[in-house]
Amino acid sequence: MTSRTSAALTATAVLLMVTACGPSPGSSSVPSVDLGTWAADILPAVAEGGFSIAGSTGTDGSRATGSTTDVEPGWYAVTMACAPADPGADADGSSGRISLRGEHGSYGEGDCAGSPVTTTVQLGSSDDSTPETITVAAEAEGYEAFWGVSAAPTTAPE
């Protein structure tokens, strides 16, 4: 009886030691993030007269696009970001890209580096007051990526 009790106590102690330490070092405990949460955390809130577009590439990184219409010509503070959808994914050395285009040409592009980049850009033509459609395109090689653009009207840089 004593050996059975001793064995049970030893087994219980070992079980408690293993579970008290949490997951094993090789296990993944990185929380998943949905697109809406990622965009809200990364992109500035949409200001009056501005716009925001967010989406994700295919799980294999295939190209994805999104657009918004009736963007008034003028100067905008534009924030662009692109990052792996899985926070634990290793996208080092990948060729992920995000670009912003309109009917008057390219307004900028960059790598899927994860950190947002903000710059001042003139969208549309100063000679044409017609609103235009702005399109965002993103792709990543071998992994799903979240991407987003937010723009707010601003003044021209000096």
Domains of the chain: 35-153 (2.60.120)
Contact 122, 75 (CB under 8 A): yes
Instruction: Write down the mean pLDDT value for the chain.
Output: 81
Q: Rounded mean pLDDT of 5-21? A: 37
Task: Tell me the one-letter amino acid at 135.
Answer: T
Number of H-type helices and E-type strands within the chain:
2, 8
* DSSP letter assigned to residue 137: E
Task: Give the integer Cα–Cα distance in Å for 22 and 28.
Answer: 11
State the CB neighbour count (10 A cutoff) for residue 11: 10
The residue ranking higher by pLDDT, 101 or 29, is 101
Please give the model's pTM, rounded to 2 decimal places: 0.76
